Copies of this chain bind each other. A is one copy, B any other.
Amino acid sequence: MLAKGGCPKSMLSIKDALEAVEGKWKLLILFALSASPKRFKQISKEVGGITDKTLSKELKNLEANELIKREVFDTFPPTVEYSITEHGLSLEKVIDELHFWGLKHRKQVIGK
């Protein structure tokens, strides 16, 4: 693929993908939700270092992109749970490759 570098059509689809997952939080939130549906506070704790305001904004954006689903349960008091959608799960390979590359990058550059 990289040999085709600069192909305008590929550039567009990479842009599309980057726009849907841009920022440092969205993929981490999806990763946290990939194991099981979670409540707001659980996501916040697992992702780490994110403010409630930012997490709330990111969750709305992920929902708009159909990557996660928000469900309200009629308990007392009502509970809200977030889960990953099938479309969100389809980012698995992207997250996998980032994970592998992150390990390598820490060894090669950050670890210096």
Question: Are B6 and A34 in contact, with the CB atoms below 8 A?
Answer: yes
Question: Are A1 and B99 in contact, with the CB atoms below 8 A?
Answer: yes
Question: Are A35 and B90 in contact, with the CB atoms below 8 A?
Answer: no
In this complex, which of A3, A91, A105 has the most chain B Cβ atoms within 10 angstroms of its Cβ? A105
Give the secondary structure class of A's interface. Answer: helix
Question: Are B48 and A105 in contact, with the CB atoms below 8 A?
Answer: no
What's the number of copies of this chain in the assembled complex?
Answer: 2
Question: Which A residues fall within an 8 A CB radius of B?
Answer: 1-6, 10-20, 22-24, 27-28, 31-36, 46-48, 65-66, 87, 89-106, 108-110
Q: Give the Cβ gap from A68 to chain B, nearest Cβ, in Å.
A: 13
Tell me the nearest residue of chain B to A42, going by C-beta: B6
Q: Residue A2 contacts which of B5, B13, B34 (CB distance < 8 angstroms)?
A: B34
Q: A103-B13, A106-B13 are in contact. Are A98 and B28 (CB under 8 A)?
A: no
Question: Are B14 and A102 in contact, with the CB atoms below 8 A?
Answer: yes
Question: Are B99 and A14 in contact, with the CB atoms below 8 A?
Answer: yes
Instruction: List the 4 shortest-distance A-B pairs measured between CB atoms, nearest first.
Output: A5-B35, A5-B34, A17-B102, A13-B102
